[in-house]
Chains A and B, each alone.
Chain A
Amino acid sequence: METVLRGEKPSEVIPFSLEEGVLYVPVRHHSPACAFHLERIIRRYQPDIILVEGPENACDLIPVLTHPDSRTPVALYYAFRDQQQPESEGEPGFYRCYYPFVDCSPELVALRAAREMGIPARFIDLSYAQILLSTYSARGLRSREEKLSYASDRYLAHSRFQKRLCEKAGVRHFEEFWEKYFEIGGMTLSDDAFFQMMNTYCLLTRENTPEEELLEDGCLAREYHMASRIREAAGAFGRVLVVAGGFHIYGLIHPRQEIHIPPAPKPGLQSVYPMRYTMPGMDALSGYASGMPCPGFYDRVWRRHTEKPDQAPWDSVVLDLLVETGRSLRKKGDTLSPADEIAAMEQARGLAALRDKSSPGLYELQDGILSCFVKGEADYSRSLPLRILEELTTGDQVGQLCEGAPVPPLTRDFDEKCAAFRLQRKAGARQELTLSIFSSRKHRQISRFLHQTVFLNLGFALLKKGPDPLRRTDRNLIREIWEYRWNPGVDAALVERSSSGATLEEACVTELRQLLFSAVCSADGARLLVSAMRMGLGDPTGAMGQQMETLLIADGDFSSLCDAFSALDTLAQWHEQYAEPDAFQHQKLMDRCFDRIMQLLPSMYNVDDRNVHSIQDACVLLCRVTLRQEEEGRRQMLLNTLETLAEHRDIHPALHGTVLGLLYGTDSRWKGTIDAAIRSYLQGTEAIQRKSAFFLQGLFLTARDLLLVDPTFLAQVDSLLGSLSEEAFLILLPELRLAFSYFLPMETDRIAGRVARMHHVTADKLRLPGVDPAVFARAAALDAWAAGQLEQHSPEGDVDDG
């Protein structure tokens, strides 16, 4: 293409003339300047039809977008399920994207103008599915972004060419460049000059984009298709006005031939819905350079322009935002004065003059606030004035759709269920609901429905109280207490989730399966199965159970396997109450999980101090689960493994204590081994002695009754502790305190009383009177003095780094 351009003026390559039968108008998404000139050009050109770049499967929705009752921001939501691509390939099998509109979106301005003039308007791009099918894997709209925008400016804003351009123009980045030359500068130009400048810029950008990239992104296929639609319209209508991203104009006039266009997919695989959108949502999409950043700021510019078309809007919008930021700061207790606001406005205007801009824009506004409102060192992420400004320039408007706008099946399903369960669909106030989930079938169904809304993150309901089988809390409760409230976010979330399924169950199954397939450890997977049980999803195909088994086989993390075992045990114990017959073949999964744990447990002997508590907890959990009658087989296997573990010479003392305590719990003959172990710890070398406190801590975790029921054991521990030197005892003290913290206060009292009797001391002597405040004050002063002295004389005292 370079050869085409060399030596030719951009205006010759892309003519811009109102005399032509087809007028190509280049725009940038959400640009007020483009909208401003486009509005005037439409009036001057008087077209017979307006064609707009946008997936054509949304043509039927144009009346909804342009309806006087619809308020921006609104968006078109596209979804497509690619059946040729199985989930196992790693990439998601279905795609979704948004095409948002605000009042200053040139596309919307064009559609509204067509409605006003009573002429037809159409989207002319390939359908969303066809765009995806002509895009290479992991490119363009197929890349793995959380939220994708149809209206991407990637070509316009992100190339080396732009980087050089910004350096040359002395601006920080492309957005500032754009604002300076196209928004602020552009509004003072004539329509023709403005669009010619757009064409020149876009042509240069295009020249700097490799053609392979365009092909891989599906760009050439789209342009080919749009060009053919334009030809069709030109044949049928006299004057055709085409509104398209500036980057594509060249491709529309000079489409590449021999491009394969994939056929449209079967109906039902792709869907499109209008949805109300929010300004923060728009701003989040700008992360992928989809239209301009700070939509709130440019929306104000556009509104100011429509209110007073003969005045440049910039200066007054900047002033408004400065004053609003100041007011907001004062409300939050800042002592910002009007003098600061005056200084900030002067700063913004001065910077605009220095930067050769006719009025200050967004970047001068930000600079003015940074200079004059931020006192002291600026931390760009935490400075309150900048944060407030960011909120204001993002905006907080929520859009609205006219009555009768089509809704996706998922929303319909939600509405129907709300009606069936008599849940208040549009109530603004919070509603409370008490459900007897184990006794009433209907209540269980409502509970499942509410759990599904929670799982899909609809922001509709909140479980206030009820049994939590997973966390093993409140398991004595037989009712669930829910709070729910409908809000506009619920609708938006429903539309977003509509690509996952036509009913809530279907959407939950789809998303749960995806999560299960992307889970990294078995614990996550097992927790998902428990949620599935509460949602009443079941596993008719057995695919989830199978995937869970794969996760268990692949997981090598002991703690994760133990957590998974606990969650599977929950399934086993609760599935009947939740009326889930054979939940995910849990018995088979538990066997698999238990085997894996038994393989790993013997190697856990040398766990470090940091992780020992989690292994201790895991051992306790395993014992608790296998204690039940029906788990006899597993219990024996576990005890054998624990025995092997206890016999290991280098076992961590805390784990040693825990394991011996557990073994003692099943067979009191282990008492002898415990006695021997405690003796060997307390009478060992100094280093071993130090470990005895760990041992006791582990032991008391699982068998603290030893000390309460067995007087000889108490005497033994007492005499062993008594034989320690004072120094050795002081070293052990912190861990010993932890060890004794497992006892209830009453139990500690009982133990102390017995020990006192052993030493012929009456129990009342153990109780000390409260400390005299004067004595306490003296001791505290002494303590502070000693700490000061230590700090002063310590060679390795902490250096204050001020």
Chain B
Amino acid sequence: MQQQILRPVAEQRYREELEALRVWDQFNRKPINWQLSPKAVRMFILGSGKPLSINGREITIQKKYLGNDALVERCIITLAGNRGLMLVGEPGTAKTMLSELLSAAISGCSTNTVQGTAGTTEDMIKYSFNYAMLLANGPSREALVPSPLYVGMEKGILTRFEEITRTPAEVQDSLISVLSDKVMNIPELGDSGLLFAKPGFNVIGTANTRDKGVNEMSSALKRRFNFETVMPVRDVKLEKQIILNEVQALAHASGIDQPLDETAAELLATTYHELREGVSAEGMRLEKPHGVMSTAEAISVYYQTLMGAWYYGDGTMDEKQLVENLVGAVAKESDEDLAKISSYFSTVVREKARREGGAWKRYYEARSRLK
């Protein structure tokens, strides 16, 4: 079947799992308007371990978020309460993925999303009007164009607000009264101009803290959110697994039918991990690059290398291509970063090549591509 959508949303990708969970979950207590109980949401994101036996079929719920289980639990409980959830952290730590999975599991819809930019205005957050209808019929509910926030309140589902700190602070503040009173005032509609939020409504925001071009949130808005800090993965093995899982999904979606090279994932996971932490496994101190050394970046380097091998080569990845793509990913901010990678190769990678040989040796030999 020809795939029609580049990246299906979470509720489509995991339709089968969600349906199985709904059956499994039928006797558990759910907050009003939640599609699944908190326990089932937890299982959807953190996996079931054993397969669930549903209507004679065995369905295993995959673990989709690797890292901090307690964080996921706190997120779920926050969303069941009356405060919004704000996921903060460095770029590339899977905040958006977590927000999407939570919305898909709780509301069955992950697309009710405000995509925050520097150009986001208040009417994109609350509502605007279809001006032709407004002029023809005057202000009415039909002429009103609802925002994702409006839809969330009206239907009692979650509204996602991506990159909230990229929007100007005064625009962010339009959320304050909505989040505390759970009501939106639409003066244009006269007496019927009050939208009361239905149970099940809440907001998941994501915010980058270390990126350029972000605005500080006001304290008033901060008070209406519970903050959860998503940390970069601190375990090399886990990072390697995340790289493999994500690339597998991307490759599958693009029809690339090539078994993945675990060694390459390990090289990348180790490189990214050590440069991010500023210290190698052997204890050598390293200069940290200015650019973001996130797992998401490592995934893209791996995927790029895989595609190169698939379309131009015989499908097997080699370390030279890996290094070339690494250069493209790292040297975004300044040439200095490239020098830091070079010195990483001439010290740490060299030492690993000497000690372990094999892939590390080939990786070290490919250092001439660091230009």
**Chain A positions near chain B (C-beta within 8 angstroms):** 168, 170, 172, 335, 337, 339-340, 343, 346-347, 350-351, 353-355, 363, 367, 370-372, 374-378, 799-802
A335 to B219, CA, bound (A): 10
Between-chain CB contacts (< 8 Å), 18 pairs: A170-B46, A339-B223, A347-B74, A347-B81, A347-B226, A351-B73, A354-B39, A354-B42, A367-B74, A370-B74, A371-B77, A372-B226, A374-B227, A374-B229, A375-B223, A799-B290, A799-B334, A802-B213
* Given known A170-B69, A354-B39, A371-B228, contact A377–B89 (CB-CB < 8 A): yes
Check if B333 sits within 8 Å of A801, measured CB to CB. yes
* A374 to B89 Cα, complex, angstroms: 14
B115 lies within 8 A of chain A by Cβ: no
Closest B residue to A801 using CB positions: B290
B106 within 8 A of A: no
CB pair A337–B223 under 8 Å, yes or no, is yes
Evaluate contact between A350 and B333: CB separation under 8 angstroms: no
B222 touches A376 (CB 8 A): yes
| Contact present for B222 and A354 (CB under 8 Å) | no
B322 lies within 8 A of chain A by Cβ:
no
B residues less than 8 Å from A170 (CB atoms) = 46, 69
Q: How far is the CB of A361 from chain B (nearest CB, A)?
A: 13
State whether the Cβ of B76 lies closer than 8 Å to any Cβ in chain A: yes
Residues of chain A contacted by B198 (CB below 8 angstroms) = none
CB pair A377–B333 under 8 Å, yes or no, is no
C-alpha spacing A374/B211, complex, angstroms: 21
Could you say which of A367, A371, A800, A802 has the most chain B C-beta atoms within 10 Å of its C-beta? Answer: A371
- 9 additional A-B residue pairs with CB within 8 Å, beyond A172-B69, A347-B78, A371-B78: A337-B223, A346-B81, A347-B77, A374-B229, A376-B217, A378-B229, A799-B290, A799-B336, A802-B212
Known contacts: A172-B69, A347-B81, A351-B77. The answer to whether A371 contacts B227 by CB under 8 A is: yes
- B242 on interface, CB distance cutoff 8 Å: no
Chain B minimum-CB-distance residue to A343: B83
Q: Chain A residue with minimal CB distance to B221?
A: A375
Least CB distance from B316 to A in Å reads 35
CA distance A564 to B132 in the complex (A): 91
Chain A proximity mask over B43-78: 1 for CB below 8 Å, otherwise 0? 000100100000000000000000001100110111
Most buried by B among A337, A370, A800: A370
B70→A343 contact, CB < 8 A:
no
Is the CB of B125 closer than 8 A to any CB of chain A? Answer: no
A339 nearest CB neighbor, chain B only? B223
B38 within 8 A of A: yes
Partner of B70, one of A172, A340, A377: A172
Among B209, B228, B229, find the residue whose CB has the most chain A CB atoms closer than 10 A.
B229
The answer on a CB contact under 8 Å between A376 and B227 is yes
Q: Verify if B88 is at the interface (C-beta below 8 Å from A).
A: yes
Cα–Cα distance between A170 and B42 once the two chains are bound (Å): 11
Is the Cβ of A354 less than 8 Å from the Cβ of B81? no
Contacting pair A351 B74 (CB below 8 A): yes
Among candidates A340, A354, A799, A802, residue contacting B73 with C-beta atoms closer than 8 Å:
A354
B227–A375 CB distance below 8 A: yes
Top 6 closest pairs, chain A to chain B, by CB: A350-B77, A378-B229, A802-B212, A371-B226, A801-B290, A375-B222
Q: Which residues of A contact B49 (CB under 8 A)?
A: 168
Name A352's closest neighbour in chain B (CB-CB). B77
Total residue contacts A-B, CB cutoff 8 A? 79
Complex Cα distance, B36 from A354, in Å, reads: 13
CB distance from A381 to the nearest CB of B (A): 12
Q: Give chain B residues whose Cβ lies under 8 Å from the Cβ of A355.
A: 73
Within 8 Å CB of A172, what residues of B?
A: 69-70
Inter-chain contacts of B227 with A (CB < 8 A): 371, 374-378
**Are B88 and A377 neighbours in the complex by a CB distance under 8 Å?**
yes
The listed residue with most B CB atoms (<10 A of its CB), out of A168, A351, A355, A375, is A375
Complexed CA–CA distance, A591 and B181 (Å):
84
Tell me which of B89, B226, B336 has the highest count of chain A C-beta atoms within 10 A of its own C-beta: B226
Contact residues of B with A, CB < 8 Å? Answer: 38-39, 42, 46, 49, 69-70, 73-74, 76-78, 80-83, 88-89, 209-213, 217, 219, 222-223, 226-229, 290, 333-334, 336
Q: Is there an interface contact between A802 and B211, defined as CB atoms closer than 8 Å? A: yes
The CA of A355 and the CA of B69, in the complex, are separated in Å by 11
- Residues from chain B with a CB closer than 8 A to the CB of A377 are 88-89, 209, 227, 229
Shortest distance in angstroms between A44's beta carbon and chain B's nearest beta carbon?
Answer: 38
* Cα separation A354 to B219 with both chains bound (whole Å): 30
Q: Is the interface of B mostly helix, strand, loop or mixed?
A: mixed
Q: Find A350's partner among B80, B209, B211 (CB 8 Å cutoff).
A: B80
CB distance from B276 to the nearest CB of A (A): 14
CA distance A372 to B69 in the complex (A): 18
A423 CB to closest chain B CB (Å) equals: 49
Nearest B residue (CB) for A337? B223
- A447–B327 Cα gap in the complex (Å)? 66
> Could you say which of A340, A354, A363, A801 contacts B77, with CB atoms under 8 Å apart?
A354
* Contact call A354/B76, Cβ cutoff below 8 A: yes
Residues of B within 8 A of A351 (CB): 73-74, 77
Chain A residue contacts of B217, Cβ below 8 A: 376
Min CB–CB distance A341 → chain B (angstroms): 13
Smallest Cβ-Cβ distance to B37: which chain A residue: A354
Q: Which chain B residues lie closer than 8 Å to A168 at the CB level? A: 49
A172 → B minimal CB distance (Å)? 6
Closest B residue to A172 by beta carbon equals B70
Q: Are A354 and B38 in contact (CB under 8 A)?
A: yes
How far in angstroms is the closest Cβ of chain A from B353? 31
CA distance A339 to B83 in the complex (A): 10
Contact among B76, B219, B226, B333 with A343 in the assembled complex (CB-CB below 8 Å): B226
Q: B88 near A376 (CB under 8 angstroms)?
A: yes
A402–B222 CA distance with the chains assembled, in angstroms: 52
Give the CA-CA distance A370 to B80 in the complex, in Å: 17
Question: Which residues in A have their C-beta under 8 angstroms from that of B89?
Answer: 377
Which residue from chain A places its CB closest to the CB of B85 in the assembled complex?
Answer: A371
Q: Which residues of B contact A337 (CB under 8 A)?
A: 223
Which residues of the other chain, B, contact A375 by a CB distance below 8 angstroms?
219, 222-223, 227
Out of A350, A801, A802, name the residue touching B81 (CB < 8 Å): A350
Residues A367 and B70 in contact in the complex (CB < 8 Å), given A343-B81, A377-B89: yes
B293 to chain A, nearest CB (A): 13
Inter-chain contacts of B38 with A (CB < 8 A): 350, 353-354
B74 touches A799 (CB 8 A): no
CB <8 Å contact, A371 and B74: yes
Tell me, in angstroms, the Cα distance from A350 to B73 when the chains sit together. 9
Give CA–CA (A355, B46) in the complex, Å.
13
Residues of chain B within 8 A (CB-CB) of A346 are 77, 81
B336 to chain A: which residues have CB within 8 Å?
799
Q: Give complex CA distance A351, B71 in Å.
A: 11
Q: Which residue on B lies nearest to A346, using beta carbons?
A: B81
Whole-angstrom CA separation of A378 from B86 in the bound complex? 12
Q: How far is the CB of A354 from chain B (nearest CB, A)?
A: 5
| Chain B residues, Cβ within 8 Å of A335 | 219
B residues less than 8 Å from A363 (CB atoms)? 70
A376 CB contacts on chain B under 8 angstroms: 88, 209, 217, 222, 227
- How many whole Å from B233's CB to the nearest CB in chain A? 15
Q: Which B residues lie within 8 Å of A367 (CB)?
A: 70, 73-74
Measured CA separation A343–B211 after assembly (Å): 30
Min CB distance A180 to B, Å, is 13
- Once the chains are docked, how many angstroms separate the CA of A799 from the CA of B337? 11
A370 to B88, CA, bound (A): 13
Tell me, rounded to whole Å, the shortest Cβ–Cβ distance linking A616 to chain B.
29
CB distance from A359 to the nearest CB of B (A): 15
Distance between Cα atoms of A164 and B19 in the complex (Å) = 30
Q: Inside 8 A of B46's CB, which chain A residues have their CB?
A: 170
Task: Knowing A347-B78, A375-B227, A376-B227, say if A799 contacts B209 (CB, 8 Å).
Answer: no
* Contact B228–A799 (Cβ < 8 Å): no
Residue of B39, B82, B83, B333 near A799 (CB, 8 A) is: B333
Cα distance A800–B334 when bound, in Å?
A: 10
Residues from chain A with a CB closer than 8 A to the CB of B80 are: 350
- Enumerate chain B residues within 8 angstroms of A800, measured Cβ to Cβ: 212
A374 to B209, CA, bound (A): 15
Nearest neighbor of A370 in chain B, beta-carbon distance? B74
